[in-house]
Amino acid sequence: MSVELISVLIAVVAVGATLAGLILSGQRAIRVELATQRQEFSERFTALEQQIAELRERMAHLEGLLDGLREAIAIRQGAA
């Protein structure tokens, strides 16, 4: 093997190793960012679920009040 061929092979291996390092570094950064986004979305969905549960309770309360109002009106009309 000639010196030129060895130097080209070393250059190719060095470029390959550098590219591999850059790719792995980028993948690590993306993985961390995705984990952060998943946690943020999980917190948002949990907050939405709590708000929906609160709205269900409030709607049930209003439904009970309306049922009571209907009964009061029906009793009043029946007595009149």
Residue 6, pLDDT score: 95
Concatenate the DSSP letters of all residues of 44-61 into one string.
Answer: HHHHHHHHHHHHHHHHHH
3-class state of residue 67 by DSSP: helix
Predicted confidence band at 1 (pLDDT cuts at 50, 70, 90)?
confident
CA 8 to chain centroid: 48
Q: Model's pTM, two decimal places?
A: 0.59
Lowest mean pLDDT among 7-16, 22-31, 66-75: 66-75
CA atoms within 13 A of residue 80's CA, in its CB half-sphere: 6
CA angle 70, 53, 35 (to 5 degrees): 165
Q: Give the pLDDT confidence of 21-69 residue by residue, as tens digits.
A: 999 999 999 999 999 999 999 999 999 999 999 999 999 999 999 999 9
